[in-house]
């Protein structure tokens, strides 16, 4: 039975492992061995990982893989991906190869604006607040001079501050809605530091604004924080080709193209399908975001909010056939960084960025959007032709065999055997039992 623990973070790593293994696992000795087995053999590398977060007791591995042959705006990329789902990298690679032979992916940055807000309560005359804001806006902007200095030198910084009145939603609720350009940084620390300074300056200046009554002078700042909703930090990726080039062994070209467009249209109007459709897109997006040390939770939150921007959750991709040309594209908000955060700390993140030719944040946005589009193409292609299980179970075969304790020779034999057999839990178990005999 787990019991409360005092000062856990102050215990040594060994003490933490002892405590958790003894209090929360059936076989403490085995747990300790397993946790240690996943430590890096080089203590310096392990220390680096230990210090990323608090209370580290081991490392949690995910496969780090490569999906090659992505032609993006005429350049070839091999895309690094960190993900556990068996079929994702295979599907991405298959899509990349397919579109490599049909002109590749074209991408475009539609915006790079980041957002942050100071949320505050002001109970008083709206016009006076508006006049106050207009008069102090230059001082607010000036108050972040030292914070923004480096960012401004590189061409970024604060774009604008707006006063927003939301008092019809919550009594006295207003915001400073601020927009930023953070260049190659994701910008969370920069934005939050600026916002906290704006909040402080706002409160201070209100105290000495003569037109305010004593009550009006007392602006209450509730919080200052960036927003992960970045609808103007947007990238578009697309593929297109004559419908006649879409034929495959499973379906004639015209039928495939029409069914594909129909499937995307269903995801546009039907939230149950849209969520799964977009989940497939996020299989590609998250894997690259994670491999490049970016914040996948921020990306997930922002992307799904964007998918619901018109009032109903909908597909992030679009498809159409026009004058015999099949066109398939995605528009997706992505706040990414290629400097700061884990990018210069995590050794594998550094390698991932190097594999991508050390991209700028804008370049990384384009690669990530392409990974999402490629993944969606592969998923929808399977769905409207063979069904998803055929490819998925083939990729899952090794996991199943590992779970059943197959030897290397048995695995090799069964992978060959299942090349033209249907993979199910039962069929794999039965085939393994047969060769074991």
Q: Which residues make up the interface to ligand MEV (CB under 6 A)?
A: 85, 276-277, 279-280, 283, 379-380, 383, 388
Of 124 and 280, CB closest to ligand MEV: 280
* 29 given a catalytic annotation: no
Rounded Cα–Cα distance for residues 374 and 389 (Å): 18
392 catalytic? Reply is yes
Residues in the chain: 437
Nearest to 93 by CA among 105, 108, 78, 82: 78
Cα 181 to Cα 151: distance, rounded to the nearest angstrom: 9
Which lies closer to ligand MEV via its Cβ, residue 188 or residue 285? 285
Residue whose Cβ sits closest to ligand MEV: 280
Contact 257, 326 (CB under 8 A): yes
**Token pair of 82 as six digits:** 């960190």
Q: Tell me the three state secondary structure of residue 173.
A: strand
> For this structure, is 304 an active site residue?
no
Question: For residues 94 and 277, which CB has a smaller minimum distance to ligand MEV in the complex?
Answer: 277
> Which DSSP string corresponds to 47-101?
HHHHTTSSS--S-----EEEEEEEEETTEEEEEEEE---TTHHHHHHHHHHHHHT
Nearer to ligand MEV, 163 or 388 (CB): 388
Out of 18, 85, 181, 211, pick the active-site residue.
85
Catalytic residue among 114, 217, 277, 392: 392
Give dist(CA 38, CA 31) in Å, integer: 11
**Angle, CA 277 vertex, CA 276 and CA 283 arms, to 5°:** 85
CB of 88: closest distance to ligand MEV in angstroms? 7
Is residue 195 within 8 Å of residue 119, measured between CB atoms?
A: no
13, 177, 254, 279: which one is catalytic?
279
Residue 333, judged by CB atoms within 10 A of its CB (0-12, 13-18, 19+), counts as buried
Q: Which has the closest alpha carbon to 332: 293, 302, 291, 296?
A: 302
- Residue 344's contacts (CB-CB under 8 Å, 6 or more residues apart) are 350
In the chain, the N- to C-terminal Cα span, in Å, equals 43
**Rounded Cα gap, residues 113 and 147, in angstroms:** 18
Q: What is the dihedral of CA 280, 285, 291, 294, to 10 degrees?
A: -130
The closest alpha carbon to 107, from 61, 154, 75, 67, belongs to: 75
Question: Is residue 277 annotated as part of the catalytic site, yes or no?
Answer: no
Can you tell me whether residue 151 is helix, strand or coil?
helix
> What value does the CA radius of gyration of the chain take, rounded to a whole number of Å?
26
Residue 346 or 394 having the CB closest to ligand MEV: 394
CA atoms within a 13 Å half-sphere pointing along the CA-CB vector of 155 = 3
Catalytic sites, residue numbers: 85, 279, 295, 392
């Amino acid at each position: 039975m787990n019991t409360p623990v005092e000062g856990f973070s102050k215990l040594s790593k060994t003490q933490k492992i002892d405590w958790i293994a003894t209090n929360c696992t059936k076989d403490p000795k085995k747990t300790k061995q397993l946790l240690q087995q996943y430590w890096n053999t080089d203590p310096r590398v392990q220390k680096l990982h230990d210090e990323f977060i608090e209370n580290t007791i081991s490392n949690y591995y995910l496969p780090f893989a490569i999906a090659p042959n992505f032609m993006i705006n005429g350049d070839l990329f091999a895309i690094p991906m960190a993900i556990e789902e068996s079929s994702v990298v295979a599907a991405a690679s298959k899509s990349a190869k397919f579109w490599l032979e049909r002109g590749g992916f074209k991408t475009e940055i539609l915006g790079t604006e980041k957002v942050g807000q100071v949320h505050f309560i002001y109970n008083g005359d709206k016009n006076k607040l508006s006049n106050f804001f207009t008069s102090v806006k230059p001082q607010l902007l000036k108050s972040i001079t030292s914070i923004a200095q480096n960012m401004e030198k590189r061409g970024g910084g604060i774009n604008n501050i707006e006063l927003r009145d939301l008092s019809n939603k919550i009594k006295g609720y207003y915001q400073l809605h601020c927009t930023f350009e953070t260049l190659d940084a994701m910008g969370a620390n920069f934005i939050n530091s600026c916002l906290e300074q704006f909040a402080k300056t706002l409160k201070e200046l209100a105290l000495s604004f003569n037109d305010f009554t004593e009550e009006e002078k007392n602006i209450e700042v509730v919080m200052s924080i960036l927003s992960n909703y970045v609808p103007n930090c947007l990238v578009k990726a697309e593929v297109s080709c004559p419908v006649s080039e879409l034929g495959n062994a499973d379906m004639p070209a015209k039928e495939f193209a029409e069914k594909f467009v129909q499937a995307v249209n269903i995801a546009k109007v039907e939230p149950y399908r849209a969520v799964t459709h977009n989940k497939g897109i996020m299989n590609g997006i998250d894997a690259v975001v994670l491999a490049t040390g970016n914040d996948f939770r921020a990306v997930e939150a922002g992307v799904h909010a964007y998918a619901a921007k018109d009032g109903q959750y909908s597909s992030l991709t679009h498809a159409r056939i026009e004058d015999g040309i099949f066109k398939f594209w995605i528009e997706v908000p992505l706040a990414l960084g290629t400097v700061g955060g884990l990018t210069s700390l995590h050794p594998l993140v550094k390698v991932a960025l190097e594999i991508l030719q050390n991209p700028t944040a804008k370049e990384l946005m384009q690669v990530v959007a392409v990974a999402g589009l490629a993944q969606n193409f592969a998923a929808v292609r399977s769905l409207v032709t063979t069904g998803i299980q055929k490819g998925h179970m083939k990729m899952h075969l090794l996991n199943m065999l590992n779970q059943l304790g197959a030897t290397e020779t048995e695995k090799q034999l069964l992978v060959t055997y299942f090349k033209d057999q249907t993979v199910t839990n039962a069929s794999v178990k039965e085939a393994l039992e047969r060769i074991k005999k």
